[in-house]
């Protein structure tokens, strides 16, 4: 199994899905139940956007699960409580690490410990080498090539979220989520005009939309979004209840409407100039 799939496009839009992976590597060594661990996935997000190639849109997805390694974290966001020895690189104990959701997850969304063992320093370095680095290298190359071709790029970082935030999922446990959350880190990773345009497009389709709450966007928009240089990165969270049974993880009929609306959104973005929307 390859760790990632990367497909270049010709349009001025790039999509990526860092959390929809369902391939659990043999060396994961988790102690908690796999069924519980799978609820951390952005399950089926890759299916919701499988029209990307037909629109000429660049596409990147991770096949490894986010609990094994979270590509949407900085390399410094490592929970050293997990390790059996000292980590030789800088670390920072930010809010995600405190929730047990750093580069390597320590807890599930429900607060259940994932491991009954310490992880080796070399083991974690291997996950970074095989998962984090190739994912970020591929995304950077997609974005650079698209920007070189068009002089601009719209990067949509594609996610899903539970209908209600679990106890250890975010800093807002119990929050009932809108249909969509559009995040641009308070206007720092994309033009606020573009962010509002996306929100208004979705609202016109009958969805409820929140901007930058409770998800502002994390490493994959922070690292690559530079709107002043024509590089616009937006995190888009879709509520899982719109398209799947959150208990069984099975798609339901609602996924057809959602996929059609996402197709239309991305198709419009391929012709949109963020400076003039």
Per the listing, tokens 């899905």 go with 17
pLDDT at 268 exceeding the cut of 90? yes
pTM: 0.97
pLDDT tens for each residue of 215-239: 999 999 999 999 999 999 999 999 9
- Look up the CATH superfamily of 4-269: Zn-dependent exopeptidases (3.40.630.40)
Give 195-231 as a DSSP string.
HHHHHHHHHHTT--EEESSS----HHHHTT-BGGGTE
pLDDT tens for each residue of 22-59: 999 999 999 999 999 999 999 999 999 999 999 999 99
pLDDT at 170 exceeding the cut of 90? no
Are 192 and 184 in contact by the 8 Å Cβ rule? The answer is yes
- Stretch 144-154: mean pLDDT, rounded? 98
User: φ, ψ for residue 62 (rounded to 5)?
Assistant: -90, 140
pLDDT tens for each residue of 81-90: 999 999 999 9
Q: Indicate the pLDDT class of residue 168, thresholds 50, 70 and 90.
A: confident
Please give the pLDDT value at position 1. Answer: 64
Closest to 173 measured CA to CA, from 119, 110, 228: 110
**199 in the Ramachandran plot: left (φ > 0), alpha (ψ -120 to 50) or beta?**
alpha
- Stretch 148-155: mean pLDDT, rounded? 98
Closest to 109 measured CA to CA, from 232, 240, 231: 240
Mean pLDDT of the chain: 96
- Stretch 127-153: mean pLDDT, rounded? 98
């Amino acid at each position: 199994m390859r760790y990632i799939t990367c497909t270049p496009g010709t349009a001025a839009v790039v999509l990526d899905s860092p959390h929809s992976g369902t391939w659990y590597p043999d060396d994961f060594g988790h102690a908690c139940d796999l069924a519980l661990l799978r609820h951390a996935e952005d399950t089926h997000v890759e299916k919701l956007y499988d029209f990307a190639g037909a629109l000429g849109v660049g596409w990147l997805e991770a096949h490894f699960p986010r609990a094994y390694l979270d590509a949407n974290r900085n390399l410094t966001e490592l929970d050293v409580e997990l390790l059996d020895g000292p980590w030789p690189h800088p670390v920072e104990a930010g809010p995600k690490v405190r929730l047990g959701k750093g580069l390597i997850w320590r807890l599930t969304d429900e607060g259940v410990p994932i491991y009954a063992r310490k992880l080796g320093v070399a083991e974690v370095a291997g996950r970074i080498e095989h998962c984090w680095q190739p994912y970020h290298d591929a995304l950077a190359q997609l974005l650079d090539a698209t920007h070189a071709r068009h002089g601009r790029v719209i990067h949509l970082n594609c996610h899903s979220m539970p209908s209600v935030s679990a106890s250890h999922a975010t800093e807002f446990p119990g929050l009932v989520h809108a249909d969509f959350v559009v995040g641009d880190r308070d206007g720092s990773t994309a033009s606020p005009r573009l962010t509002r345009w996306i929100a208004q497009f979705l609202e016109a389709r009958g969805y409820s939309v929140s901007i930058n709450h409770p998800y502002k966007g994390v490493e994959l928009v922070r690292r690559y979004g530079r709107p002043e240089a024509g590089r616009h990165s937006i995190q888009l969270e879709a509520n899982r209840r719109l398209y799947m049974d959150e208990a069984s993880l099975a798609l339901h009929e609602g996924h057809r409407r959602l996929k059609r609306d996402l197709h239309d959104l991305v198709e419009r973005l391929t012709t949109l100039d963020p400076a003039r929307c």
